[in-house]
Structures are given as C-alpha cells and as structure tokens.
Chain A
Amino acid sequence: MAPPGTPQALSPDTFLVLRFLLTASLLFCLPLLGIVIAGSAASLILNVSGRENRDDRSLRLSRESIEAVTGNRWVLLLFGILPYPAIVYSCQRILGGQSPLPAFAWVVPFGALLAGCLLLSLYRSAIQKTAELPPAPFRAGAAGLLAMVSAAGLLFLLLGALVNPAKLPLIRSNLVFLLSWNSLVGFLLFLALSFGLTGGIILRFLARANAKAGGRDPDYETRVRAAGTTLSLIGALAVPALVVLDLISLPATGMSTEVFIMAASVPILALAVFALLCLLPGKEESRPGDRVSALFVLMFLAVILCYQTAVANAFQGISAPPGPLAAETVSKEGKAAGKTASGDAAALEKGKKVFDTVCSVCHRFDAKVVGPPLNEVVPKYKGDVAKLKTFIGNPVKVNPAYPAMPKPAIKEDEVDAVARYLLSKVKTGK
C-alpha cells in the first residue's frame, strides 16, 4: 500500500519533460490570457468614461484596445486556449497518484475561458458597429471579462498545488485546501504583469495614431500615452512588491538559489520600465511601446521560469522512483498476517522479521547485493538447521568473491528463527 496521497513516482526524465511542457504551455497561454483580460478591462473602462464625457477619443481607444487584444482570434485560440489541455495534462501527471485532482476542477476554468472568449467577441463585434454601446453588449463584455478573470484565478489555484505537494492528500480530501496565499499572490502578480504588458501594447498605438491618414491627432496621442503609461506604471510599480510577497508565501521546499536570482531580476526589469516611461529624456517624442512590451514579456518569462524551478524543487524528494517503501510494506503486511498465524507460522514470522530488519541489508533471495543470493547458498545446508545456525552465529569467509559476513548483532533465539525461516523459504521456493 502506498502511503495515501503520496504522488505516484515519475521517472526523473518524464518529470523533466512534463516540467518543460508545462513551462512552454504557460509561456504561450499566460501572457495572451493576461493581455485579453487587461485589454478588455481597459476597453470597458474607457468605454464607460467616453460615453459619460462624450469623448470620441476615449471611445476610439476603447475600440482599438479590444480589437488589438482579441485581434487575431486564431492566434488567441492557438496560443491562448489550445495550450490549456497541455497544462492540465502535465499538472495531472506531475500530481500523479491514484486520484489526481478531480476532472471538474479543470473543466470549470476551461469552460469559463471559452465562455469569456465568446462573450468578449460579442462585445467586440458590437463595438465595431457603434462606439456608443447599448447596455446589452456592454454587459456581455463585462461578463466575459469576469469569466476570464475567474478562469485565470482558478487556474492559479490549481497551479499553486504544484509548489506545495505536501498539501496534496489534504486537497484530495477537500478542495478548500487549494486556497493558498501563494496562489493569491501569484494571481495578483499575473494581473500586474498583464496590465503592464497591455500598457506597452497600447503605447504602440502611438505609431498607428501618427500614421493615420489626415495627419496627427495630438489629443488622441495624449489619450493613448496616458492610458498606456498608466497601465504600464501600475504594472511596473506593483510587480516588485508582489515578487517579494510571492517569495514570502512560497513554501521553503520550493526555494533554491536559482529561484531567488530569477525573482531578483524582475524588480530590475521593472525599474527599466519605470526609467523608460518616467526618467529618460525626450519621452514626449519617443515611442517606448515595443521596449516596454519586451521588458514585460521578459518579466513573464522570469516569473514562469521561477515557478517551474520551484515546482522542480518541491517535487525533488518525491519524483524519483520509490526505494525501500516496498520492503517496509512487505514487512508490515507480514506483521499483520502474523497476528492470525499460530505455532510454526509464528516462529517463521519471527524469522522473517529478523531477516527483513537485519539480513535483508545485504541479502536477497534471487539477487547478489552485498552478499550472495540466498537461493544459491542456503540449499548447500540441505535443511540442516544446526549447521546454518552455526554459520549465522559465527560467520566465516567462504567465497572469495564476496566480502566476509560480519557477525550479526542478534540473539540466539533470533538466529534459530531466521535459520528456520531461510530453510523453509528456500525449500518451498516461495
């Protein structure tokens, strides 16, 4: 019986492949999901403020934002949603065991993801027809955003289970144990990075605004710059604090020096974003969109690599093939059986116990370990208990191919029991 809840052993190679599959899928999925969430949130807010202030430029930016983030639905489908099954597959394999997390835990976020995409595309086609949206498509957009945010939140809860495998048995008995500070901080970090990246993408509109036929529209440029800079700055300022909180809430077993180095690189990249937006001279003329986006993509990369290293660390103790558990289990089962056995069987049971705890260190029946395989040497005693007892009590070197057997620290009656056990076992060939 494997201890309940212990993840099923994966070979280190399989584990490595799964880790990389997970990292690659997250790298495709998370930034895109983040852009969709932050872009549609920005679009909805701009739409409300544009309608209230009768501001056409806000409405235009609102439309362009949602167009940009859901622009190519094939890209969205291919990189945003299709990696999801790969994430589920690798998580379930890593979590392993007889009862991985229940299927509905994975189906619910996936359903929310699809529903969110559908509702946002409704919102998008409505806003393309008219910038002054009637309430219904606007509500569809808000619901879509909510669905996307919940999908991402649930996904982060599930991903959080991977960095704390000690909680797995608890999670399997009650899904409430999925809740963890680390998941919450991870989710907030994801949102901060997403808003920052979306800010970078909006800043790229500057180029488009200038290239528009009919010359420049300085008001629109100001609006774009204000929206993009605000989003990027929120991201850049929130990220360092969240990284520190993430490290505080990360279980110590997931940590390693590499995790800290990657985590430390994130505030440095955030400082670069801040410098690009606020400190570097000539910012009025420059168009930092590409550089800001690239820096946020790098931060995403650092955070995801950091996460996957933490998963590898957390599973270090439990990913290798199981060792002596089997031997322990056998002796435990034997003990249980011994309670009901009587007479001879009880004596043999005692011998088996001595064998399991003392002799099995060097001897197996069918294989050479430190000493010779017992199936080869025990038959030489031809059932002579006394002779075997003499050897076990005072071993002498017989075969030059093996090291001399040390005198075992067991009592006279235990020598007798184990000798009888060995002879019975080899004779009957069990």
Chain B
Amino acid sequence: MKKTLVAIAAIGYFGLSVLLVAGLWYLWHRTDPAPAQPIAFPHTVHAGQLQIPCTHCHAYADRARSAGAPPLSTCMGCHSTIATEREEIRKLTRHYEEKRPVQWVRVYALPDFIYFSHKRHIKAGLACATCHGDVAGMKRVRRVNELVMGWCVSCHRVRGASRDCATCHK
C-alpha cells in the first residue's frame, strides 16, 4: 500500500515536470522567434548576396518610429522583370495585381505602453544588427533579442542614454 502511494507520488512528480516542460514548449512555440512567413522572403539573397542596404526597403527606419515594411511596388520595381518564374515571386505578383497586401507575421513586437522610435536609435549611431542580429545571414528572420525592459535599460545605462521612466513610458 505504502509502496503504491510512493509510486503514484513519484509518477505524479516526474510526470508533472514533463508536463511543465511541454507547457513551456507550448508557450514558447506560440511566440516562435522565427515564424513562417506567407512569402518565404530570403534576406540572405537581398541583404546578404546583393548587399541591399536595410533602409532601401525599410525606408522609414531613419525617419520615423516604425521602420516599415516595404510596399509591394518596391518589390515589383525589380521583380516585374527579375526571377518572375519562381513560385514565391508569382505569389508576390498575384498579391500585387490583386492589390492585396501580404500579411507578414510580426517578428518583433512591443506592448502598447512602450514608446519606441527607430529614428532616435539610428540617429544615435546604432547599426540595425545591434538589435536585429545579422539578418543578412538569416534565411527566415529570427528574433535574436527579447525586447524586455532589463535589456533596454542595460543598454541605455552602458551608452549613457536617458533612463527616465517617461522616455519609454509616455
């Protein structure tokens, strides 16, 4: 009897920890750092091989809060003539012709109560890769930094930027 109880307790304890691991996996999976995108856009080709500067497509990075995803017309500027036979480009062309925006899956997101400006950070001389990693080497874009307060504040501290609450929580 005692042995059965011990066995049940043990299986409960070890089983619970396996379940917790599975639960943590589920939580992590919901915010996958490298989500699949509707069109498999290869940064390795555009930013890597062709060395197109980031701001060519993310045109607002140095002049607005949001870096912006490029309009389809930017893509079609080249892809109306280049690599038109590829499946992903065909998908892109269909979106363009049907005037249907591509629903890119967000990789980095900040909560509503955070004020963040790309422009400020670029003006301060930060390179895109400091926060976003080497996107040029990523086949599928991957979140390389969790945008948590400790991370922001540590960097502000090291670089002597403002640590006033109202800087980010306006």
Q: How far is the CA of A324 from the CA of B10 in the complex (A)?
A: 55
The B-contacting residues of A in range 355-411, CB under 8 angstroms, are: 356-358, 360-362, 369-370, 403-404, 406, 409
Residues of chain B contacted by A271 (CB below 8 angstroms): 10-11, 14
CB of A210, distance to nearest CB on chain B (Å): 26
**Chain B stretch 106-144: residues in CB contact (< 8 A) with chain A:** 125-130, 132-138, 142-144
- B1-45 contacts to A, CB under 8 A, are 3, 6-7, 10-11, 13-14, 17-18, 20-22, 24-25, 28-29, 31, 33, 43
Q: In the bound complex, how far is the Cα of B47 from the Cα of A360, in angstroms? A: 11
A349 smallest CB distance to B (angstroms)? 16
Q: Which residues of A sit under 8 angstroms from B25, Cβ to Cβ?
A: 257, 260
> Is the beta-carbon distance between B21 and A320 smaller than 8 angstroms?
no
Interface stretch (choices A16-24, A289-297, A311-319) = A311-319
Docked-complex contact A248 and B78, CB < 8 angstroms: no
| CB atoms of B144 and A170 under 8 A apart | no
Cα–Cα, bound, A183→B96 (Å) = 49
In the complex the two chains form, is B129's CB within 8 Å of A322's CB?
yes
- Interface size band for B: 35 or more
- Establish whether residues B134 and A253, one from each chain, have CB atoms under 8 Å apart when the complex forms: no
Q: Shortest CB–CB separation between residue B2 and chain A, in angstroms?
A: 11
A253 touches B158 (CB 8 A): no
Q: Is A247's CB under 8 angstroms from B21's CB?
A: yes
B111 CB to closest chain A CB, in angstroms? 15
A173 with B81, Cβ < 8 A, contacts A6-B129, A324-B51 known:
no
Decide: B10 and A279 in contact? CB cutoff 8 A: yes
Closest A residue to B157 using CB positions: A170
Contacting pair B136 A357 (CB below 8 A): no
Complex: chain A residue closest to B126, CB-CB: A3
Looking at the complex, which one of B20, B22, B78, B143 makes contact with A370 (CB distance below 8 Å)?
A: B78
Q: Which of A247, A252, A270, A314 contacts B14 (CB 8 A)?
A: A270
A323: interface (CB < 8 Å): yes
Selected from B81, B126, B133, the residue in CB contact (under 8 A) with A403 is: B81
Q: Which of A170, A257, A356 contacts B158 (CB 8 A)?
A: A170
Decide: B53 and A267 in contact? CB cutoff 8 A: no
Does B104 make an interface contact (CB < 8 A)?
A: no
Residues of B within 8 A of A167 (CB): 151, 154
Bound CA span A323–B81, Å:
25
Cβ-based interface call for B162 (8 A):
no
Question: Considering only CB atoms, which chain A residue lies closest to B22 in the complex?
Answer: A264
Contacts between chains A and B (CB distance < 8 A), count: 171
Q: Are B10 and A329 in contact (CB under 8 A)?
A: no
When C-beta atoms are compared, the residue in chain A nearest to B17 turns out to be A240
Q: Counting CB contacts under 8 A, is A347 at the interface? A: no
On whether the beta carbons of A329 and B127 are closer than 8 Å, the reply is yes
Give min CB distance, A174 to chain B, whole Å. 8
Assess A264 versus B21: contact at CB under 8 Å? Given A253-B33, A278-B10, A319-B137.
yes
B contact residues around A251 at 8 Å (CB): 146
Of B129, B142, B154, B155, most buried by chain A (CB within 10 Å of CB) is B129
Distance A244 CA – B16 CA, assembled complex (angstroms): 10
- Say if the beta carbon of A118 comes within 8 Å of chain B: no
Q: Which residues of A sit under 8 angstroms from B81, Cβ to Cβ?
A: 403-404, 406
Q: How far is the CA of A321 from the CA of B137 in the complex (A)?
A: 7
B155 neighbours in A (Cβ, 8 Å) = 169-170
Q: Is B69 an interface residue, CB under 8 A from the partner?
A: no
The reply to whether B136 and A320 contact each other, CB–CB distance below 8 Å, is: yes
Residues of the B chain whose Cβ atoms lie less than 8 Å from the Cβ of A332: 125
Tell whether A252 pairs with B146 under 8 Å between CB atoms, given A317-B135, A324-B51, A360-B52: yes
Residues on the B chain within 8 Å of A241, using CB = 17
Given A252-B28, A260-B21, A326-B51, check contact A318 B14 (CB 8 Å).
no
* B167 lies within 8 A of chain A by Cβ: no
A257 to B24, CA, bound (A): 11
Residues of B32-70 contacting chain A, CB below 8 A: 33, 43, 47-48, 50-56
Partner of B144, one of A316, A321, A326: A316
Contact between A361 and B52, CB atoms less than 8 A apart: yes
Asked if A324 and B17 sit within 8 Å, CB to CB, the answer is no
On whether the beta carbons of B144 and A253 are closer than 8 Å, the reply is: yes
A142 within 8 A of B: no
Q: How far is the CB of B88 from chain A (nearest CB, A)?
A: 17
Q: Which residue of B lies closest to A275 (CB)?
A: B10
Are A323 and B82 interface neighbours, CB within 8 A? no
A-B CB proximity, top 5 nearest: A323-B136, A320-B137, A317-B133, A240-B17, A317-B144
Known: A173-B158, A267-B14. 7 other contacts (CB 8 A): A174-B158, A240-B14, A252-B28, A320-B136, A321-B134, A357-B55, A361-B56
